[in-house]
Amino acid sequence: MSELIQSRRRLLKGAAAWGVSSGLLAGCAAPGATNPGAPAVLERRLGRVGVIGAGFGGATAARYLKHWGGSSLDVVLIERNPQFVSCPLSNLVLGGTRRIEDLTMGYQGLRDAGVTVLVDEVTQIDPIKKVVSLVKIADQTFDRLVVAPGVDFQFDQIQGLNAEAQKTVLHAWKAGPQTVALRNRIESMPPGGVFVLSIPRAPYRCPPGPYERVCQVAFALKANNPTAKIIVLDANEDIQSKKGLFLKAWEPYGSMIEYRPNSVVAEVQAQAGVVVTEFGDRIRADVLNVIPPHRAGDLAQKTGLITVNNRWCGVDWVTMESLAAPGIHVLGDAVMAGPLMPKSGHMANQHGKTAAAAILEILHGRTPQPAMMVNTCYSYVDDRNVVHVSSVHRYNSEQKTMVTVAGSGGLSTQANALEGQYADAWARNIWRDMFNV
């Protein structure tokens, strides 16, 4: 068997491991890369790509653009935060079994891989000229842009949740200081105190996340404040993910957990520690954890990338290119997801690889091909037992969206410690995949 065939097989095996359709990678390698014995060929310059946002989508896109594009492509990653903090696993901080430091990492691995990393704030994007304005340095111009803006919150949908109220009524739905502050409030609850969690209507970031949070808060309270109570006000008609598994996980806590579906929080009275539902029910709490409705991040809104329901960014699923701004690719939770497609870290990682491969095809003058995308969401029901849900998605050319592959994916039969090991490995592996660490 020739070395060329062996090299091609190694490339296809790597594509499968990355979870992206191998068809996307045809031609993405630098000239001569599939045949180590071939004479060196001078690479032509492909251009300069800017990536804004270093989360699961943006960091992945930056790494794979550089990994596949090599020295022919300049990749600049712009992120306002000096360090990344993972939202997946952050509920464990509330449960007391992880520290925020365990979920925090820097960008040196990306720099080592050849990505230029700028810690700066983007103030404006010219979607026509692809010019990015920043706070600290001069404007930057790119051939293509990748925007991974995450989500921001519709605070105005809840009466009383103004800037002052937000100082005391935390969402902790972006991992970081609020996560630590909410953990401290849980620890400081009086004996028999009440914790209220408000869940917004779907779609929102991480469908099973709020229900995992209930598990983690209950786990912490049972150990330190067993007479406390958790009231879950879910704006949805039912639990949005892994319903049977979460209900089973809540059974040992008995009356500590009270779940109320169809309970939309319409008002917050921060000083009194009270929330009011749209039906007029008043619930007082010692700790309020109100997660407001979501929309695509502020930068997407300012740039005119939001096209669906005044909340989400529509994209061409073959390339992840914005339907509103050609040449700008949008990733992650900001995107209007396909049917049964969650807003998750794993899915954002798939977006990043899909966009990276498509951009390289475009810069090489070729036509990108659709990718398959996979997703797995793990949820910790206590300190070590975990459940999961997984799915596979393919492009439907008639509907021009991603659809779930029939019979694909899976769901845990019960929580167990072995899946806890898998969940920990998943986190370490995807962080390594994103940040080259």
Tens-place pLDDT, residues 70-112? 999 999 999 999 999 999 999 999 999 999 999 999 999 999 9
Share of residues in the chain with pLDDT > 90 (%): 89
Condensed to tens digits (0 to 9), the pLDDT of residues 402-432 reads: 999 999 999 999 999 999 999 999 999 999 9
Q: CA 292, CA 228: separation in Å to the nearest integer?
A: 24
Residue pair 309/318 in contact by the 8 Å Cβ criterion: no
The fold of the 156-294 domain, in CATH, is FAD/NAD(P)-binding domain (3.50.50)
| 214 in Cβ contact with 197 (< 8 Å) | yes
Nearest to 65 by CA among 150, 151, 144, 149: 144
Residue range 3-80+120-153+296-369 forms a domain whose CATH class is alpha beta
Would you state the structure tokens that stand for residue 9, as one six-digit string? 């097989």
The rounded distance, in Å, linking the Cα atoms of 267 and 283 is 11
Q: What is the mean pLDDT of residues 276-299?
A: 98
Residue 219, pLDDT above cutoff 80: yes
Q: Do domains 3-80+120-153+296-369 and 156-294 have the same CATH topology?
A: yes
pLDDT bucket at 13, cuts 50 / 70 / 90: very low
Average pLDDT of the residues in 273-301: 98
Cα angle 419, 88, 255; round to 5: 75
Is the pLDDT at 279 greater than 90? The verdict is yes
Q: Nearest 5 degrees, angle CA 18-CA 88-CA 400?
A: 55
> What Rg do the C-alpha atoms of the chain give, in angstroms?
22
Nearest one of 401, 87, 149 to 295, comparing CA atoms: 149
Give the start-to-end residue ranges of the domains of the chain. Answer: 3-80+120-153+296-369, 156-294
- Helix and strand tally (H, E) in the chain? 10, 25
Q: What's the whole-number mean pLDDT along residues 190-198?
A: 98
Find all residues with CB under 8 Å of 265, minimum gap 6, and list them.
158, 198, 233, 235, 275, 276, 277, 278, 290
- Specify the pLDDT at position 125: 98
Per-residue confidence band for 43, with pLDDT thresholds at 50, 70 and 90: low
Residue pLDDT, tens place only, 228-252: 999 999 999 999 999 999 999 999 9
Residue 33 has pLDDT above 60, yes or no: no
Residues 228-262 as b or e (16 or more Cβ within 10 Å = b): bbbbbbbbbeebbbbeebbeebbeebeebbebeee
Amino acid at 350: Q
**pLDDT confidence of residue 44:** 79
**What's the mean per-residue pLDDT of the chain?**
92
